[in-house]
Amino acid sequence: MTNTDTPTDTTAVVDAYLASLDEADDAVRADLVAQAWAPDGRFVDPLQEYNGHDELRTINPIIQQLYPGARFRRVSGIDVHHDQLRFAWDMTTPDGAQVVAGIDIGQLGPDGRLRSITGFFGDLPAE
What is the residue-averaged pLDDT of the chain? 92
Could you tell me the domains of the chain? 8-121 (3.10.450.50)
Does residue 7 surpass a pLDDT of 60?
A: no
Residue 93: what are its φ and ψ, rounded to 5°? -80, 170
**Phi-psi category of 110—alpha, beta or left, where left has phi over 0 and alpha has psi -120 to 50?**
alpha
pTM given for the model: 0.90
Taking the C-alpha atoms of residue 109 and residue 82, their distance in angstroms, rounded to an integer, is 11
Instruction: List the beta bridge partners of residue 120.
Output: 103
Q: pLDDT tens, 40-90?
A: 999 999 999 999 999 999 998 888 888 999 999 999 999 999 999 999 999
CA dihedral 98, 102, 103, 109 (to 10 degrees): -70
Q: How confident is the model at residue 1 (pLDDT cuts 50, 70, 90)?
A: very low
- Average pLDDT of the residues in 97-124: 96
Q: What is the pLDDT of residue 5?
A: 45
